[in-house]
Structure formats: C-alpha cells, structure tokens
Structure 1
Amino acid sequence: MCIALISTAHPSYPLILLSNRDEFLHRPTAPAHWWSHPNTHILGGRDLQRAEQGTWLAITKQGRLAVLTNFREEGDTYVAQNKSRGGIPNAYLTQPPERRESSEEFARRLIEEVGVGHVGGFSLVFGEVRAGGEGGLEGLSIVSNRSVKAEDLVTIATKSGETHGLSNSYFGDRSWPKVVKGEAMLNAAIDDDQQRESGDQSAFIESLFEILSVDELPKRKQGEDWDVYVRQMRNSIMIPPVGGVSAESKPADTMASGKTGTDTPDHGNVEVHEFGYGTQKQTIILVDREGKVKFVERTLYDEDGNKMEVKDGQKEFEFEIEGWQT
C-alpha cells in the first residue's frame, strides 16, 4: 500500500516528492546510498531479497528519477512474480549517465526488451528532472502494466501548481482516500511554508514527514475477514505493522501480514513479529530552482521489526543535478 505524492506548487521547489514504502518489515533492504560501480551515479535504497536488487525510489546525479508503486491485486488476479518489479526502475536508472532517452523511447524499451510480463502490477513515475520553460520542469511520465496499453503514457509535473498522488491503483483513481487526503495535506503544507516566509527547509521537511506519518487505519474488528480489513489501508497514508495468522502466506501487494506494533493511538503496545507488514521507509526529495537536491530517508523499523529512533534511521544527501539547465 505504498504512496507517492508529487508537487510543483512551491515557488522555491519546482519538484517535491514524498514517498512511503510499505513492505514486510523483515525484508532485507539497504538504506539509501550511492550505488557501487558501474552505477555510482544512482542514489536510493535497494531490495536485497531478490537477485535484481531493485529499487522503489531513486534519483541520479543527472536528475533521472524513478518511483514505483505496486498494484493491489484483488482476489485471484495475483500474477506469479518470476521477475522483480524492482528491476523496472533499475532499467531506467542504470543507463549510462550520458545517454538521453525520451519517455516514449524508454516505454518502448521497457516493453520490447525488459518486458512487463511475469511481474506483478505496477505504476512507474519516471523522467529527467531538469529546468523547463517558465520556471517549470520538463515533466515526468507514468507507465503501468495494468493500463489498457502499457505504452500509454501520462505526463505530469510540466507546469507549476500541480499536485498529484499515486498509490496501489491506476493514476487518477480518486476512490483511494489516502491519495486525496495526501494531495490536500501536501498543498496545505506548501501554503503554510510560504506564509512562514522563514525559508526554514528543515521545518518544511518535518511537516512533510508528518504527512507521511498520518495513521488512520482502524483496529481490525474481531472476526473481520482479512481481505475486508486490508481494504481499510486505502484510508491511511502510513500503515502501521499489521497482520495475522491468516495472512502469513499471501504476497505483499495482496495483503499485509504481522502483528501490530506502533505508538500511534490505534495501534499501541502490541509486539511486532517476523511477518509484520507496514510502512518501512519514508522519503522526501526537494529540488530547488538551482537544481540542488535534498534527499532525506527515514527507516522506521530495523530488520528485526524493532522501531528505530529518527536519529538512527535518518539519512540525508545533497547534490546538484548535472546539466540542470540543459
């Protein structure tokens, strides 16, 4: 039940990205870092469980950005994942830094060479973050293997004033309350930051993490069917560790699994165990008008499912996008 929120509505930041990664808390995952050779131009976390060591969110020194969300597969529509979805962002990010590839060219390569079959449902937001006309960006694209045609692209973030959310459904699905509320809260945080006129980036970033930490998931009712309860996750931006015995054998994008364990009002004082599923990582990316990137990631739980202090789980990076004005 991941979520990505993207906005071009802040006058100081032509691009703002917020992301929650929801996963099994015990899944081996590397925190955000600059990758090793030959991909030293890529910054992001990596999934260590699959051979592809794919990512859900990363950005390159040249401003190439990719963020992936899974589809919630209802009933028997789950597709056997012979390939990791994390390899989809990798296919875009690991191109040689000097290579320029249009969104249409990448979508064609994704379908014809990388392949989108035998992989679970996904939506990928991707594009080169560069200065565009009238203070805007060149724009980002969205491709999905659950659209009518995988090569059908949606383009966003081409002008100022846009705010968009994407969770575990198709882009534009307004039936997910967490998406609608996330968009509204992000716009409100941007307005509040402008009214402060202090330019306090740290305070603004903290307000964005507050959005990603909104927990409105009710406790599971006694006797409530698990699949019915999982649908409640559409309402909550953050997913606390949740689950139960009936869910242990199901895939992560079909359900959530584990005992609850968080200090939020509805989910306190319950131990997390090895099958816990919930918001594992939170990421904020700010890109200013000079092309300077601020990347902040918070890991909420360690590999044993224990809650981490912010000071222990936070990693910050800053760099300037190469070719920002190109």
Structure 2
Amino acid sequence: MCVLFLYYNDNPDSSKYRLILASNRDEKFDRPTKALDFWGSTKICLSGQDSQNEVEGSTWLGMTKTGKVAILLNILGPADTSSPQTDVAYFNNRENDLNCRDVPMDNNCICLSNAKSAKTPFQKVAKGREKFIEIVENFNYKDKKSELTEKLLELLRDKTKYADDPVLQSQAESTVSEGNETNFAKNRDKLSSLYVYIPELGYGTRTHSIITMDFDGHCEYLEKTLLTPVDEEDMQWNDTLLKFDIETE
C-alpha cells in the first residue's frame, strides 16, 4: 500500500513553497528497482524505475522538468470498469459515484492512499492529513527546509496502527474469495499504518519521496530507498537528491 500527501498553491509567498509532496512506496523488498534519476533521450523526466522484466521502465512516482507530476496508487480489491476523471487529473477505476468527481482538498492539501474512493480514506490517511496540514502550516518556509524535510520523514515513518479502520476492513474483506484470505486480508492490521513493515512477506515501505518547488521554480526531489537485502538489525537507506529549475514548455 502506498500513500500521497500533496500541497500546492499557485500563488505562494516568495518565501514559501508552491508545491510540497511526500509519498511512501510500499512494495516487495526483492522487486528490482532503479534509483531516482533523469531518464529518456531528452532527460526531461525523472523518477525511480521498476526493473522487473514485464514492467521494466515503469514508475510509481515521477515528474518532468516542466513541472508535471504523476503518481500511481494501486487500489486493492475487486476490479471495476468505471473511470471517472476530475479537473485535477485524478483517475479512479473503482469510483462509481459520477456526481462527485473532485478529489477532497483541505487547506490546499490532497491526501490519498489505496482506498477505493478518495471520499472515504483509510484512517491512516485521515489522521496523516491532519499532521501534514500542521507541518505545512508550521514549516512551509524556504529557510526551514531542513525542519520541513525532517517532519515529513517523521510522518512517512509513522508506525501508528489503525486496525479497527472500517474502510480498510471492508476493503480487505472484499478480497476474500470462497473463504480463502488474501495477504491483504490476513495482514490488515500491519497495513493500517503509514509505515509498513511485514518481514515475513518480504514486503513494506521501501521508498520515501519528498518533492518541493518554490516560488521561483527551484525544485528538489529527494528519494530515500531501503537497501536490499534488508538487515532487520541495521536497516540502511540510500539517498538520492536531484535539484533543478522548472523549464517552461
């Protein structure tokens, strides 16, 4: 399960950021992955990349040097065929309510995970939204960048569990077929925190990403990736930081 916390403001104070993004990628520890880098013949795109054969070159979070950002959050549960779209470019093939297409936004913040509907988030996202908004309010200043990064990492590493989350419970139960529980259903409580670690399945949070863009278009993209094989006694993380200026199209 993955999570996204996003703040954006097209008209920020010159001392603040116009975009702040914090995200966790939860994945199998042994899934081959390339670290964050510029790629493509023009080097205009940057992201980490999946190296697994059938999906090699794909990504979970990426952006362009022109300022476009995209993220993939897989929804766990039975498939649906509907695909409503909103003005903020949110696509969801599990949301059937065509009368409410807007992604919920609070204080210029959008917070999403793997719930079927953006309108009914998992508790970890609802609680995380409150903390994220507080972080933005207190640390959205260029001269507080180190504190901002530290607080965002604390949020992404929050191990608080919400095992009684009714949305998570309902979605986990929907994956059970003929009495056979999926790993999702069996490990619902371990998946209920923002930071996920399930060593017996070789699965958990293996990438933290933080992107900031300031008033003048200066951008920093930080990726922290868990090194594999994972040493439970001494978990090591690889840091990649790319800095660049947003280019006009």
TM-score category by the smaller chain?
0.7 to 0.9
- The answer on whether the counterparts of 1:141 and 1:155 sit within 8 Å (CA) in structure 2 is no
Q: Which amino acid aligns with 1:5?
A: F
- Partner Cα distance (2:53, 2:247) in 1: 31
1:172-211 pair list within 5 angstroms: 172-193=118-139, 199-211=143-155
| TM-score when normalising by structure 2 | 0.77
Q: Which amino acid aligns with 2:5?
A: L
Aligned pair count reads 223
- Partner Cα distance (1:156, 1:14) in 2: 19
Offset at 1:156? 7.3
| Gaps in structure 2 of 5+ consecutive residues | 164-180
The aligned residue for residue 4 of structure 2 is 4
1:299-314 pair list within 5 angstroms: 299-300=225-226, 302-306=227-231, 308-310=235-237, 313-314=238-239
- Partner Cα distance (1:203, 1:13) in 2: 14
Q: 1:228 to 1:214 in 2, by over 3 A?
A: same
Q: Which amino acid aligns with 2:152?
A: L
**Aligned match of 1:16 in 9, 15, 20?**
20
The aligned residue for residue 316 of structure 1 is 241
Q: Deviations over 1:166-200 (max 9, x none)?
A: 11123424351111111111111122226xx7812
Indicate yes or no: 2:157 matched with 1:231: no
The aligned residue for residue 33 of structure 2 is 29
Q: Deviations over 1:275-304 (max 9, x none)?
A: 41000101001111111111001012x232
Q: Deviations over 1:96-152 (max 9, x none)?
A: xxxxxxxxxxxxxxxxxxxxx8xxx99999xxxxxxxxxxxxx842012223399x9
**Aligned match of 2:54 in 51, 62, 72?**
51
The aligned residue for residue 292 of structure 1 is 218
Question: Which structure shows the bigger proportion of residues in strand conformation?
Answer: 2
Indicate yes or no: 2:142 matched with 1:142: no
Q: Which amino acid aligns with 2:23?
A: S
Tell me the percent identity. Answer: 26
- The answer on whether the counterparts of 2:18 and 2:215 sit within 8 Å (CA) in structure 1 is yes
Q: Which amino acid aligns with 2:112?
A: L
- The answer on whether the counterparts of 2:208 and 2:224 sit within 8 Å (CA) in structure 1 is yes
- The answer on whether the counterparts of 1:8 and 1:162 sit within 8 Å (CA) in structure 2 is yes
| TM-score when normalising by structure 1 | 0.60
Give the secondary structure class of the aligned counterpart of 1:174. Answer: coil
- The answer on whether the counterparts of 2:17 and 2:142 sit within 8 Å (CA) in structure 1 is no
- The answer on whether the counterparts of 2:26 and 2:203 sit within 8 Å (CA) in structure 1 is yes
The aligned residue for residue 130 of structure 1 is none
